[in-house]
Structure 1
Amino acid sequence: MPIEAAAGHELPLVVDGTDVRLSCISREGEGLPLVFLHGFGSTKEDYADIAHHPAFAGRPFFAYDAPGCGESHCAGLSKVSIPFLVETALSALAGHGIERFHLVGHSMGGLTSMMLAHGAPDRIASFANIEGNVAPEDCFLSRQIFHYPNNDPKLFLEAFIARNWAAPYYSSPLYATTVRYKVRAEAVRGIFESMVDLSDHGDLMDKFLGLPLPRMFMYGEQNNTLSYLPHLAANGVELAEIPFSGHFPMYSNAPEMWRRIADFQRRAEARPGD
């Protein structure tokens, strides 16, 4: 189905007393919708190519720029955190009339997705977690707010960009060079501090393993040394290693990312009772 079948629009919300205007992309269709939550320094456009893939032809989908990111507006950037993003997701789903859906989240969006699924598991048909935080070791980006402190949010973000541009991982320079255009510096601290706090103290592994629904954990081959991967597999989580990729499979190896997501969701829908 051509990209023209996807529509861009805005969704005004009030989240925790704060005015938010989400920049969204969506498509109507048949079957359960796919909902995408992007990572830190990324936008909804990470997932716009779904409109080109035959495996998803005719399927409805919904993605949006998180508050403080992309083309979305948030009147209180200092309030943006993972709990705030979860409330945003719930409000966005209600505003878009989505009840039950397949969920895909990357990094920051993966953590947001997991907290969303933990609070409303009956609404989730399947959850594809693309390197979303499940353990303290996942804070290699967010923990920089503590490792490289700077009271000036713009200076912190510029130094963050420089470090990631020089990182020896697939797509890191591509990611880094666009971050300053995709995230407001004033939103970074609340996002990063809440990600670290939840990763260190939020029992994320237990929450992920306790979800009563099909779960996939996707990671790039450069991150196949994550210590918890065998534990995930032993507890029924499908592992999807993406070759020629690090933390950003949507940039490094998008065809394989989409293939694995489509196959996972197809099998989830074929399960008895789904």
Structure 2
Amino acid sequence: MSKQEEFIRSCVPLSIAGVDLRVAALHRDGDKAPIVFLHGFGSTKEDYADVVRYAAFNGHPFLAYDAPGCGETTCADLSRISIPFLVKTALAMLEHFGIQRFHLVGHSMGGLTSLLLAHQHPDRVLSFVDIEGNIAPEDCFLSRQIHDYPQDDAERFFEDFIERTRHAPAYASALYAASLRHKVRAGAVRGIFESMVELSDHGELMDKFLSLPFPRMFMYGEQNTSLSYLAYIQSQGVHLAEIRNCGHFPMYSNPTAMWERIAHLQRFCATG
């Protein structure tokens, strides 16, 4: 494999709203439209490193990074992290790498961050693959646990959350739970979860999603076909991508299907 096709690891120093960060990133250059990946809660930039293994993405620059409070990124004040804080981080990372217009892919927490980013800057986004990102109150099956299982001790809440997740009856739940304490700082959990719930309940996310003026795909696992809004968003022009043998985590349960559907939307953008 040529050097051009591989990725580079970087650590980017930033100050977001007065909070110092060192953001760990993977990226590569290319001559086609860039792809920006935002990972979900409990995941990391490496969820998307395999973009370099799929010929459909040859020539596309990409950027994936660990959100504040996650992975290898360091944050001087974990209590300041929220979804709006993550949107500001995304904008700063785009500026650092000189990315103007791009395809956007976001999963779960990263899908919600992506939605707000795209809503604020719709002229910069070429397409959006929303992998079970929050667009309705029913999507808070993980984040709403911050209210359903109240606990003042951040470490205790996180330990209990991990155990509940480990035994959840869904594809990849145990695999996901096994690495949570290595990928997320407990002090970041409350701010992320509370802001996700607040935005899902009161942020008019569905309206924001459906108003986006570029091709959109909503990707979901076959275990989540009960989501009440699927037929509605399809009737509004959203591409649906159901991933077989999968729950909330296509990058763990069926990554080949995930990559194929992401490539499908980008081919649609190139020819549509």
- What's the TM-score bracket when you normalise by the shorter of the two chains? over 0.9
SS at the partner of 1:151?
coil
SS at the partner of 1:31?
coil
> Over aligned residue pairs, what C-alpha RMSD do you find?
1.0
- Show the counterpart of 1:235: 236
Q: Distance in 2 between matches of 1:142 and 1:207?
A: 20
Structure 1 position 2, deviation (Å):
5.8
Q: Distance in 1 between matches of 2:97 and 2:15?
A: 14
Aligned AA for 1:226?
L
SS at the partner of 2:196?
helix
Normalising by structure 2, report the TM-score. Answer: 0.98
SS at the partner of 1:188?
helix
Of 106-115 and 262-271, the range deviating more from structure 2:
262-271
Query: Do structure 1's residue 108 and structure 2's residue 109 form an aligned pair?
Result: yes
Of 98-107 and 12-21, the range deviating more from structure 2:
12-21
Structure 1 position 214, deviation (Å):
0.4
- Show the counterpart of 2:203: 202
**What pairs with 1:86-235 in structure 2 (closer than 5 Å)?**
86-235=87-236
Normalising by structure 1, report the TM-score. Answer: 0.97
Structure 1 position 59, deviation (Å):
1.4
Aligned AA for 1:152?
D
State the Cα deviation string for residues 162-197 of structure 1 (Å, max 9, x = none): 001001100000001100000000000000000000
Task: Give yes or no for contact 1:2–1:51 (8 Å, CA) kept in 2.
Answer: no
Q: Distance in 2 between matches of 1:270 and 1:80?
A: 39
SS at the partner of 2:174?
helix
Q: Distance in 1 between matches of 2:182 and 2:88?
A: 24
Paired residues, what number? 271
Aligned AA for 1:192?
F
SS at the partner of 2:179?
helix
Structure 1 position 58, deviation (Å):
2.2
State the Cα deviation string for residues 81-109 of structure 1 (Å, max 9, x = none): 00000000000100111000000000000
- Show the counterpart of 1:25: 26
Q: Distance in 2 between matches of 1:70 and 1:199?
A: 25
**Percent identity, aligned pairs only?**
63
Task: Give yes or no for contact 1:2–1:52 (8 Å, CA) kept in 2.
Answer: no
**What pairs with 1:44-59 in structure 2 (closer than 5 Å)?**
44-59=45-60
SS at the partner of 1:104?
strand
Q: Distance in 1 between matches of 2:64 and 2:2?
A: 17
State the Cα deviation string for residues 122-148 of structure 1 (Å, max 9, x = none): 000000000000000000000000001
Q: Distance in 2 between matches of 1:269 and 1:186?
A: 42
- What are structure 1's unaligned runs of at least 5 residues? none
Q: Distance in 2 between matches of 1:2 and 1:146?
A: 49
Q: Distance in 2 between matches of 1:180 and 1:74?
A: 16
Aligned AA for 1:37?
L
Q: Distance in 2 between matches of 1:122 and 1:43?
A: 27
SS at the partner of 2:70?
coil
- Show the counterpart of 1:15: 16
- What are structure 2's unaligned runs of at least 5 residues? none
Task: Give yes or no for contact 1:125–1:269 (8 Å, CA) kept in 2.
Answer: no
- Show the counterpart of 2:249: 248
